[in-house]
Structure 1
């Protein structure tokens, strides 16, 4: 390619071997029951049909590449389906999950070198194992890992994660923050509010924990990508800045919260050109990356069309289209998986 490739940083792979490993294990039934309560029966029925229809694009590299070509996407950063987190798993099973996920994602991407790059998983429910799992992912040639917005009983501000953040910073690993499930539970169990309201809420809460707790002060080199444009936080960051200035109990970070948006990265998947322009304004054009949530129905099959609709200046458009991701993935250094 003579010009910067078009890079989609938000795409998923489904790994049947992970689900086979957890089948019948203690804790799975309770996790599924919680998921059912949070989403409601209508959402579960629609989602099941949607996933069945999209299995080829989630598992078959040929189908994935054909869809990428149709959308004008040259490169995808592929992460496991968030349904593979399984943060209920005890340590031994958690190790099996991340090893299968890391190896499976690497094998999937290896079928299309130069076009597919991957992310692995870490067990947020076991902070003492997170750095080990990150190293396992990097050892498979993956570019980093995907995490949710929290684990049961733990926020991302928990000091127990310090070794993980330190290792991620040291290795320049990408950490893709992608929520799965919302703790508002049954309040969102109709009309797919569990996703439409729940996901951006979880993004905003998780990023606020990272900012206000000082994680980004202690680890300024972290390479975090927030899915779904960072949720509600970027467009409502003024309220956080006001709290930081007005209240002593909101001074956990060294600088106004809004300044940390320019230390983070965000995908472009906000479903509104006005919101995308605002995200670029507050975070900077060098901090926004093209994202589609391939191939799920809450994503977009035309991420380039969504980007064009924002009407960004040409240099900003090209940066979001692929320039920023190429630098983050170190493609500008000619590095390969």
Structure 2
């Protein structure tokens, strides 16, 4: 049976010049994976046909476009510009097939503000941010001007995890207790997503940016089981920083989406509806209206993407009615992408 039609909000592109930049900057085994995945337009379209993906929103995955600490800002800005221009050209040539989340040359805030305007002019659908930029995490005050601009624009922000990092005596230092013992995407990605999002809440960034819509990958990673802990901590430990649990829940229901890339369902026979997604939607009352499809292609290779797509079909059939499944696969994304990105007038540049 054919898979239901779907919009893919979490898929990646690696143009040849970006592949070369990864190799030149020591990322031949990107994030500890065996190799940099091959990507081509034809290969992407083949996956889209096989999985019945009507549209793919492309982005640059980890490690983003700032490939090593202390790189000259001009080099980061140049690579970012080339990636966004490449994606914009794909969208122009295949407007029904592709959109893109634009990368930014962070942590250079001024260059990023300028790139926001260029990418908007080229028709980006929103912006892709890494969870941290060499140890500076989303929610850090240095990024406040970026989020203020996003708020003016009513922007959509896709957050993608990268390798955890910390500042040690002013120098970026990998925060990997197991070293290179495990590929970083196995679990460090999932932890880093939660780390960044919790910082966005505690820093007040989400409060200050009610017009920003966030897309969280991999079903929110480990954020859901941490929700009660980080929202209740202030009430239970009065000396600590507090946060209003009801406000956080409201913001999650109005400003946040969760994509379903990865292993959100168990793969064993007889447990098709069990796993991470069931815990999210039933444990924390997350509406089906906040869920989106994601393939994570090509970092999830074609064969694996098809296995996960079929597993997801069985799992969603178990958890949701057809009308709800249609929304998860396609309608939620279409509604998200139709949202006005910019209110003309005050705040426009």
Q: TM-score range by the shorter chain?
A: 0.7 to 0.9
CA contact (8 A) 1:76 1:115 kept: yes
TM-score relative to the length of structure 2: 0.79
1:14 has 2:4 as partner: no
Residue number among 165, 178, 198 corresponding to 1:187 in the alignment: 178
Q: Over residues 212-271 of structure 1, what are the superposed CA-to-partner deviations in whole Å (9 max), with x where a residue is unaligned?
A: 111111101111111111210113312122213223423256855444322211101241
1:314 has 2:331 as partner: no
Unaligned runs of 5+ in 2: 166-174, 266-274, 342-349
Residue by residue, what CA displacement relative to the aligned partner does 1:286-317 show, whole Å, maximum 9, x if unpaired?
A: 11111110122376335543332132222321
Distance in 1 (alpha carbons) for counterparts of 2:75 and 2:146? 20
Going from structure 1 to structure 2, the CA distance change for 1:212 and 1:315 (only over 3 Å counts) comes to farther
Instruction: Give the secondary structure class of the aligned counterpart of 1:166.
Output: helix
Please show how residues 1-337 of structure 1 align to structure 2 within 5 Å: 6-18=6-18, 28=25, 32=27, 39=32, 43=33, 46-48=34-36, 51=37, 55=38, 58-60=39-41, 62-86=42-66, 88=69, 89-183=71-165, 184-192=175-183, 194-248=184-238, 249-251=240-242, 255=246, 257-262=248-253, 263-273=255-265, 274-281=275-282, 282=284, 283-297=286-300, 300-302=305-307, 304-308=309-313, 309-310=315-316, 311=318, 312-330=320-338
Cα distance in 2 for residues equivalent to 1:185 and 1:323: 39
- Structure 2 distance, partners of 1:20, 1:196, is 25
1:180-218 per-residue CA deviation (whole Å, 9 max, x = no partner) reads 2233325152243x2111010000101101111111111
What's the offset of the Cα at 1:113?
Answer: 1.5
Equivalent residues of 2:155, 2:211 under 8 A apart: no
Kept in 2: contact 1:128–1:160 (CA 8 A):
no
Residue 187 of structure 1 aligns to a residue in which SS? coil
Q: Verify the 8 A CA contact 1:5 1:322 in the aligned structure 2.
A: yes
Partner-residue secondary structure (3-state), 1:75: strand
In terms of fraction of residues, the more helix-rich structure is: 1
Distance 1:83 1:155, change over 3 A: closer
Deviation at 1:115, TM superposition (A): 1.4
